[in-house]
Homo-oligomer: A and B are copies of this chain.
Amino acid sequence: MVAKHFRCDLYFFADGCLLMEKGYLRKLSNPTLENPFFVQGLPGFGNVGRIACHLLIKFCDAKLFAELYSPSFPDYVSITSKGIAQLPRYEFYYAPMVKNNLVIMTGEIQPSFDDVVAHYEVCEEVLDFVEELGCHFIITMGGIPIGEENKTQVYIAATSPRLATEFMEKGAVIYSKGRIVGGTGLTLAMAKERKLDGVSLLGTTTGFKADREAGFLVFKFLMKALGKEIKEGLVENNAPEEE
């Protein structure tokens, strides 16, 4: 099944540069990936998803191959250490593995939480792109506010009862009657509407600041859940230093 309708408006110039209308996707290279998994980690509660994603990118030595820009992203730009102005964007990395290739997406931003329609649109654009790449399994990672219970826990939400049970057996707790805010939840639920399989891995956090511990926990759970496919050819003890 391939999406027949690709929403990004692309305006090509003579020399290949692009003009933004609604959002645009710039491919830096065209990696060939057979049947890849898609893994996403965006900023949010305790930055859990983003930290877990950075650990994964480092662990897999994943390569940047595409960028998604959107007029729904914040209206400020970041300056690099060398003084270069950068538009807000989502970055796509790939990591070819022996069994399961990975497409990994992260970013410094999400659309404003007030701009509900933008959230749906951007998730749609992400799913359009990763479906085009052949991804049929979607993993979103994020943080959820901690309650009274113990901190070191990963919760799971899924696109089917079978998957929820499968990941529960691997050690996650079903996030029963919970609510997932922003891209972490929307991408999963919209993937389900497209008949894709997927899960959200949710680390409990107080969320007051970047929660490296929760991020590492989610990353570790992802490693364990995906089993040897990810470990092959990679150093296990890659310490999480960035973020």
Interface residues of A (CB under 8 A from B): 1-5, 7, 11-15, 17-21, 69, 71-87, 111-121, 124, 156-161, 164, 168, 174-182, 185-186, 188-190, 192-195, 200
- For A175, list chain B residues within 8 Å (CB): 79, 83
Complex contact A178–B17 (CB within 8 A):
no
CA distance A214 to B17 in the complex (A): 35
CA distance A80 to B185 in the complex (A): 13
Q: A13-B194, A76-B181 are in contact. Are A85 and B18 (CB under 8 A)?
A: no
Cβ-defined partner of A77 (8 Å) among B177, B185, B195 = B185
CA distance A124 to B174 in the complex (A): 37
Q: A13-B4, A69-B193, A189-B87 are in contact. Are A82 and B181 (CB under 8 A)?
A: no
Cβ-defined partner of A85 (8 Å) among B2, B21, B115, B189 = B189
- For A81, list chain B residues within 8 Å (CB): 176-177
- For A72, list chain B residues within 8 Å (CB): 116-117
- For A1, list chain B residues within 8 Å (CB): 13-15, 17
Complex contact A85–B20 (CB within 8 A):
no
Number of copies of this kind of chain in the complex: 4
CA distance A7 to B156 in the complex (A): 36
- For A174, list chain B residues within 8 Å (CB): 79, 82-83
- For A77, list chain B residues within 8 Å (CB): 157, 179-180, 185-186, 188-189
CA distance A80 to B157 in the complex (A): 9
- For A120, list chain B residues within 8 Å (CB): 20, 71, 75
Complex contact A17–B195 (CB within 8 A):
yes
CA distance A177 to B81 in the complex (A): 5
By beta carbon, the residue of chain B nearest A156 is B83
CA distance A106 to B121 in the complex (A): 25
What is the distance, in angstroms, from A190's C-beta to the closest C-beta of chain B? 7
- For A195, list chain B residues within 8 Å (CB): 13, 15, 17
Complex contact A161–B82 (CB within 8 A):
yes
Complex contact A200–B85 (CB within 8 A):
yes
- For A7, list chain B residues within 8 Å (CB): 21
